[in-house]
Amino acid sequence: MTRVITDSLNIKAGEFEGYNRLVTILYRCLHTNQGFQPFFDEFRKQFRCLQGGILGLTHEPMQMAYGWTFGYPEGFEQWFLNSGLAAKDDALLHFSALPPRQFDSLAGCNPDVDILSVVNGETREWVKAVGLGDSAGMLVSEGPAAKVVFLANRHRDEGHYTSTELMQMNMLAPHIENAVGLFHKIYQSRTQHETLAMALDQVGKPMIVLDEMARVVRCNAAADAVLSSHPRLFVTEQSDVRLQSRHQGFNRQLNDAILTSIFNARDGIQDMIALFDQSGDERLAVCVTPLSMEAELDSAEALGQYGALVELVPFSATRAPDIGKLKRLFSCTHAEAITAGHLMHGLSINEVAEAEGLSVHTVRGYVKNLLAKNGYRRQAELVGALVRALG
């Protein structure tokens, strides 16, 4: 790709003022509970960006481990996670392969390059749908567990990024790296929160709290006991402490559920996600809930207050659910209670229909009634409530 440099590389006074303002706001983000949103707002205004963010990506397979985003439509993060697009996204692949702290433009700062000519079919549909004209980004840092990438997309109506704009971004690059690194370090020190630790250890149910970067803040004694005997689920012992599964497929589901819950916490959505891991007759329900933590630190120390709460509910797949209790707790008929019992064991609607010799339509009707009677919008919320009640 030919990089075109046609504009002056001299920074004008107004542009330098904009740079100083961005640096000030960036470091101020370390002392607020808004994550990097204030910096994104200013960066977006100065460089006329459509969307972007700071993303932590695992190595192989490349998938999102944590992140802060801006400008994307509601539900995009969940779609991005579930689509598996991270490993195929041309912009992420390009920027993550760069030397650290070096911004680049996907179109090479060449106004004659159509970005559709440098992206593949998987990315092209998204580029066409939102009208992207160019993308700028850099590799912020790279560690043994993950790499951090910053990217900022621009709409085609705003034109391509210029070499001058890239130079301005490169002036910011070391500050972005430093701020992200400091955010990690401050978060690690803050997670030794005595009140949270004491509160969780008083709870008899196995519970794990994750921070905004999907790292384990606290795992109570009951959760430690479950994890110590579970054949697949564990908490990593490295500095980047995370809840993981040795089963690759389930690990992907778990990661997606945790990140979706963290994004939902930021958006004020309280949807719960329930996953099921089975080993022989023993099952483990993993219930992940968005968590907005009340800041108990003063404003000068407060960071992002969002995360996820994970509840572990072990039970036997051979244990019949208490139909009478289900009927009382969930205000349902006998047939609906039987359906609920299957759901809490992780069966899909099709599997419930097959097990009971019913039509899928009939089972869907039972599930719809259970949702309506108990005020839930989604089946995952209902399943989580069932597991919590009888697990």
Pick the CATH number of 191-316 from 1.25.60.10, 3.30.450.20, 1.20.1630.10, 3.90.1150.10: 3.30.450.20
List b or e across 3-23, with b for residues whose CB sees 16 or more CB atoms inside 10 angstroms: ebeeeeeeeeeebeebbeebb
H or E element, residue 353: helix 349-356
Cα–Cα–Cα angle for 363, 367, 373, rounded to 5 degrees:
140
State the span(s) of the chain assigned CATH 3.30.450.20: 191-316
Query: Which of the 8 DSSP states describes residue 34?
Result: S
The band of 9, judged by pLDDT with boundaries at 50, 70 and 90, is very low
Are the beta carbons of 315 and 283 closer than 8 angstroms? yes
Q: Is the pLDDT of residue 189 over 80?
A: no
Q: Is the pLDDT of residue 5 over 50?
A: no
Beta-bridge mates of residue 283: 278, 315
Structure confidence by residue, pLDDT tens digits, 42-98? 999 999 999 999 998 888 778 888 888 899 877 777 777 766 777 778 888 899 999
State the span(s) of the chain assigned CATH 1.10.10.10: 323-390
Q: Span 241-256, mean pLDDT?
A: 90
Instruction: Give the per-residue pLDDT at 188.
Output: 57
CA distance 211 to 11: 39
Q: Could you tell me the two tokens for 309?
A: 């709460």
The band of 243, judged by pLDDT with boundaries at 50, 70 and 90, is very high
Query: What CATH code would you report for 13-188?
Result: 3.30.450.80
Instruction: Give the per-residue pLDDT at 22.
Output: 86
State the span(s) of the chain assigned CATH 3.30.450.80: 13-188
Lowest mean pLDDT across 111-125, 244-258, 281-295, 366-380: 281-295
Please tell me whether the overall predicted TM-score, pTM, comes out greater than 0.75 for this model: no
Residue whose structure tokens are 């099921």? 276
Amino acid at 154: R
Measured CA distances, 244 to 44, 353, 359 (Å)? 35, 32, 37
Q: Is the pLDDT of residue 194 over 50?
A: no
Pick the CATH number of 323-390 from 3.50.50.60, 1.10.10.10, 3.60.40.10, 3.40.190.10: 1.10.10.10
Q: Is the pLDDT of residue 200 over 80?
A: no
CA distance 260 to 342: 25
